[in-house]
Structure 1
Amino acid sequence: MSERDALLAEAARRARRYVDGVDQRPVTPSQAALADLHRFDEPLPDSPSDPLETLALLDDAGSPATVASTGPRYFGFVTGGTLPIALASAWLGSAWDQNAALPMMSPIAARLHDVTRGWLVSLFGLPDTTEVAFVTGATMANATALAAARDHQLARLGWDVQQDGLAGAPALSVVVGDRAHSTLLKALGLIGLGRGRVHRVPADDQGRLRAELLPDVVGPVIVCAQAGEVNTGAFDPFPQIASWVRDRGGWLHVDGAFGLWALADPTRAHLVRGLREADSWATDGHKWLNVPYDSGMVLLRSPENLRRSFGSVAGYLPPAGGFEAMHHGPESSQRARQIDVWAVLRSLGRAGVADLVAGACARAHRIGEALADAGLEVLNDVVLNQVLVAAGPDPTTARLISAVQQDGTCWCGPTTWNGRVAMRLSVSGWNTTDQDAEQSVEAILRCARQVGAVPVR
């Protein structure tokens, strides 16, 4: 066996060992594992060394210090796990190491993009004209869509943002719900529209934008709606918002980092009504589709709006020959993220994706119901995969969160909701079973009894 083959075989052996053990280990690393990270603190070596030794250090000191976010009981940050086919295809894709910028640079990436685009459009029930561009995550997907929206709205007034910039441009209104995700505001700042120069519309008790309070703006306007509020999972009232936008000739963008996948589950039809009327959508594959990081997607009803904002011109670039990713998004060189997405969609099929969404929602509902029955307070209507839990006064809830995280059976993060400290559970992993849900409930209630949040039974 060559040195290269031995190195790759050893990497595969170590990776398989990690995957095999992630379900059984505590979700958070031990203090000993964190202390052992000091082994990485060394000067840059003067000379080459054995790659097998480097790989061993990475695994021996690094693997124990990971958070088991690919395991079945990690409920933090709406982080999905990694389906086996997603991991396997990512391994092969890394071996290919394709630059997906242009079809000439990777015919396989270009073909998989075309196939995956068609599958996603069909799965979500979006217009046939819809184009898909792969980016790093929902933050950049939002920024990409909003840049295209900005340029389109101002072009209607004769202003070319790409040529002339924003200085002196006509006024452009941006409307967001009061519970818009912070990364949406970050995206608005990134593209020059400002985080603070927005019309904020009050939200209801579940975080839904109150459409009856949309402002009476004049001139070009972009409205940012939300599919899946990050704390409650609530969906904005899309039919009313879409009607308001159409009456003003505006652009409707939907931030659906995880909630957009509800389009794949027929049992969530009541949540997504009107969602398909938008002009653009942003989502993540590394959340509910359970592909590896990073995997964001931006979808636009009219693909020419992406080309207007992101087309590049250089003497060495070939004539157009199919979908050219570098001309439809902010990155030129880019990982072929469509490989993992294609592999998962082909393996699961339409029914499998629907089951992935429905199963997570069912387990979130089961967890919320069990915690409420035991005396904890569930602060949201569990309509999707998000559960907000309080344990009475804020200090008690904070102690509960700390106890759960230290226990290690599952991991839940802190948040604030309507002025209260809350514990947030986001059920997104493909491998979370009913048994994992029950085990997590038992651990949370055990911790709740320890901090005096529920009676000892």
Structure 2
Amino acid sequence: MTLRAALRGATRHADAWLASLAHRPVRPGLSAAEVLARLDGPFPAAPSDPVAVIDALVEAVGGGLTATGSPRFFGYVVGGTLPAALAADLLAVVWDQNAALASLSPAASAVEQIAGRWVRQALGLPATASVGFTTGTQMAHVTALAAARHRVLAEVGWDVGADGLTGAPPVRVLAGADRHTTVDAALRLLGFGSRGIHTVAGDGRGRMCPDALRATLDTLAATDTPTRTVGARRVPTIVIAQAGEINTGAVDPLGQICALGHAHGAWVHVDGAFGLWAATSGSARRRALVEGAADADSWATDGHKWLNVPYDCGIAIVADRAAHRRAMVAPADYFPPDPGGALDPVDWTPEFSRRARTFAVYAALRSLGQDGLRDLVDRCCELAGHAASRLAGLPGVRVLNATPGPAGHGVVVPLNQVLLRVEAPGGEGDRLTRAVTAAVTAGGDAYLTGTVWQGRAAMRLSVSNWSTTRAEVDLAVDVIAAAVGTARR
């Protein structure tokens, strides 16, 4: 009965939290230090009543929670949580399945296979590709690039799984100048190091330039030493492209990058944390942004951004199933084979023990269907375009990633990101931009995040929540306009 009472208490608190999202301040009211002061103390010597523990925890941390599920949250690229996904994730906690092995949880294994197939279908990726569900895009990069490392070294006669990297032929990595920091982190974790990345110039809007990639590949090929060769390959090479630059939403010309990379024998990986979902759009313009994505060798994306499933959820997709599995598999004598012949989820990610996060992915995709997923992506993009058009009309405000829209239709942005800045003479733009960002977030009516774009302060409004409407976007724009006016006085 104690367990049931604690669960009922938690449910009451959960209901109260969800009911508050429409009106509570989006920003947290307490700092981490303040929450620590409320909770900290000696490790208790005696047990405590579970219901009392939950009540005290909620009381202590409530002011330190950010309302990321609010329709007025526009920070980072954080989605909300779809109702079906939230309910399924709660059940995943109650069911408490270790999703590593099909023999340990046949249900989790089966749902993971279905969810992986639906994700591939939604993103227009090869039906034969393998899928692993990770904590986020960071670990999805690690997973996919581990597969890349395995294959490109195997092609020059080196077994990295058995022999490691000591003495291995060097692996050349090329990535765009505007790549996300998780790419560098993944490369460090895999032993490549960030100093060895060959940075390819961009076009000033966050896209890798194909001509710069071609020139870099040609220049490097001219300096290759033919110590180990297999076919046309001299130096194992990985090219990393991007679908959805974190500030501008720009998408690299993926088809051209894949063609150039493959012409030089490279493995092409796509960082598509949120931008890959443009493939589901009903807009031909947005779908065209990710044209050619299916030609890559691996992809990384998130479920907890545009798909609006709870944290945490990343997805690694690899065209070469054999390389993916060889890079991840870690057999043990006590792992019984699944009698139905299903492949174990542990074979596709670096984690042994792992929560059954795909129940939420399945529920999200099942509840949306193809039409609902299309509408979710398009609605977020259209709301971002609406925000950009209104913001571009404010005196002294510049939308940095906007281009003119059709006649009489304001401006457009590539996807769901709006990057803006308060312009001012004499170097005051940085100070004003930071002041406006801080004022908007401190007010609690909307939540934006600051950033730096091309060496200058900027702020970003990201529309990623299924529950956001034009009313919340208009409120955010009004709050920004008021903050700009105050900062200029």
Q: TM-score range by the shorter chain?
A: over 0.9
Once the two structures are TM-superposed, the CA of residue 64 in structure 1 deviates from its matched residue by 2.5
Once the two structures are TM-superposed, the CA of residue 319 in structure 1 deviates from its matched residue by 2.8
How far, CA to CA, are the matches of 2:210 and 2:488 in structure 1? Answer: 41
How far, CA to CA, are the matches of 1:295 and 1:129 in structure 2? Answer: 22
Alpha-carbon distance change, 160 to 33 in structure 1, aligned in 2, over 3 angstroms? closer
Report if the CA contact (8 A) 1:37-1:65 is conserved. no
Q: What is the 5 A alignment of 1:33-432?
A: 35=34, 38-214=37-213, 215=216, 216=218, 217-218=220-221, 219-267=235-283, 268-319=286-337, 321-375=341-395, 376-381=397-402, 382-392=413-423, 393-432=429-468
Once the two structures are TM-superposed, the CA of residue 113 in structure 1 deviates from its matched residue by 1.1
Aligned alpha-carbon RMSD (Å): 1.4
1:438 maps to: 474
Report if the CA contact (8 A) 1:307-1:327 is conserved. yes
1:25 maps to: 24
For residues 153-210 of structure 1, give each alpha carbon's deviation from its aligned partner in whole angstroms, at most 9, with x where no partner exists. 0101110001000111112111000011111011001101111101101111111001
For residues 58-95 of structure 1, give each alpha carbon's deviation from its aligned partner in whole angstroms, at most 9, with x where no partner exists. 11221232011111111111011111111111111111
2:405 maps to: none
Q: TM-score, normalised by structure 1?
A: 0.96
How far, CA to CA, are the matches of 1:280 and 1:352 in structure 2? Answer: 26
Report if the CA contact (8 A) 1:397-1:423 is conserved. yes
For residues 262-304 of structure 1, give each alpha carbon's deviation from its aligned partner in whole angstroms, at most 9, with x where no partner exists. 1111311121111111110000101111111110100011211
Read off the aligned partner of 2:363 and give its amino acid letter: A
Once the two structures are TM-superposed, the CA of residue 347 in structure 1 deviates from its matched residue by 0.3
Q: Calculate percent identity across the aligned residue pairs.
A: 44
Alpha-carbon distance change, 186 to 26 in structure 1, aligned in 2, over 3 angstroms? same
Once the two structures are TM-superposed, the CA of residue 425 in structure 1 deviates from its matched residue by 1.1
How far, CA to CA, are the matches of 2:457 and 2:38 in structure 1? Answer: 37
Once the two structures are TM-superposed, the CA of residue 351 in structure 1 deviates from its matched residue by 0.8
Report if the CA contact (8 A) 2:304-2:312 is conserved. yes
How far, CA to CA, are the matches of 1:299 and 1:435 in structure 2? Answer: 37
Report if the CA contact (8 A) 2:111-2:362 is conserved. yes
How far, CA to CA, are the matches of 1:405 and 1:271 in structure 2? Answer: 32
Alpha-carbon distance change, 31 to 154 in structure 1, aligned in 2, over 3 angstroms? closer
Read off the aligned partner of 1:249 and give its amino acid letter: G
Alpha-carbon distance change, 36 to 100 in structure 1, aligned in 2, over 3 angstroms? closer
| Matched residue SS, 1:24 | coil
Alpha-carbon distance change, 281 to 74 in structure 1, aligned in 2, over 3 angstroms? same
Alpha-carbon distance change, 280 to 39 in structure 1, aligned in 2, over 3 angstroms? same
How far, CA to CA, are the matches of 2:475 and 2:82 in structure 1? Answer: 22
2:226 maps to: none
Once the two structures are TM-superposed, the CA of residue 32 in structure 1 deviates from its matched residue by 9.3
Once the two structures are TM-superposed, the CA of residue 37 in structure 1 deviates from its matched residue by 5.1
Worse overlay, 407-416 or 223-232: 407-416
How far, CA to CA, are the matches of 2:190 and 2:269 in structure 1? Answer: 15
Read off the aligned partner of 1:196 and give its amino acid letter: R
Report if the CA contact (8 A) 2:280-2:287 is conserved. no
| Matched residue SS, 1:336 | coil
Read off the aligned partner of 1:445 and give its amino acid letter: A
| Matched residue SS, 2:41 | coil
Once the two structures are TM-superposed, the CA of residue 35 in structure 1 deviates from its matched residue by 4.1
For residues 115-173 of structure 1, give each alpha carbon's deviation from its aligned partner in whole angstroms, at most 9, with x where no partner exists. 11221111111111011100110001011111110110010111000100011111211
Worse overlay, 103-112 or 209-218: 209-218
Report if the CA contact (8 A) 1:27-1:411 is conserved. yes
2:408 maps to: none
5+ residue gaps, structure 1, are none
How far, CA to CA, are the matches of 1:86 and 1:313 in structure 2? Answer: 32
Report if the CA contact (8 A) 1:135-1:298 is conserved. yes
Once the two structures are TM-superposed, the CA of residue 325 in structure 1 deviates from its matched residue by 1.4
| Matched residue SS, 1:451 | helix
Alpha-carbon distance change, 33 to 283 in structure 1, aligned in 2, over 3 angstroms? closer
| Matched residue SS, 1:134 | strand
Report if the CA contact (8 A) 1:33-1:64 is conserved. no
Once the two structures are TM-superposed, the CA of residue 38 in structure 1 deviates from its matched residue by 2.4
| Matched residue SS, 2:418 | strand
How far, CA to CA, are the matches of 2:435 and 2:99 in structure 1? Answer: 47
Report if the CA contact (8 A) 1:131-1:300 is conserved. yes
How far, CA to CA, are the matches of 2:317 and 2:282 in structure 1? Answer: 21
Report if the CA contact (8 A) 1:33-1:61 is conserved. no
Once the two structures are TM-superposed, the CA of residue 313 in structure 1 deviates from its matched residue by 2.3
Read off the aligned partner of 1:239 and give its amino acid letter: G
How far, CA to CA, are the matches of 2:103 and 2:478 in structure 1? Answer: 55
Alpha-carbon distance change, 36 to 201 in structure 1, aligned in 2, over 3 angstroms? closer
Report if the CA contact (8 A) 2:103-2:337 is conserved. no
Worse overlay, 308-317 or 292-301: 308-317
| Matched residue SS, 1:266 | coil
Worse overlay, 416-425 or 341-350: 416-425
Alpha-carbon distance change, 33 to 103 in structure 1, aligned in 2, over 3 angstroms? closer
| Matched residue SS, 2:488 | coil
2:410 maps to: none
Q: TM-score, normalised by structure 2?
A: 0.90
How far, CA to CA, are the matches of 1:313 and 1:23 in structure 2? Answer: 48
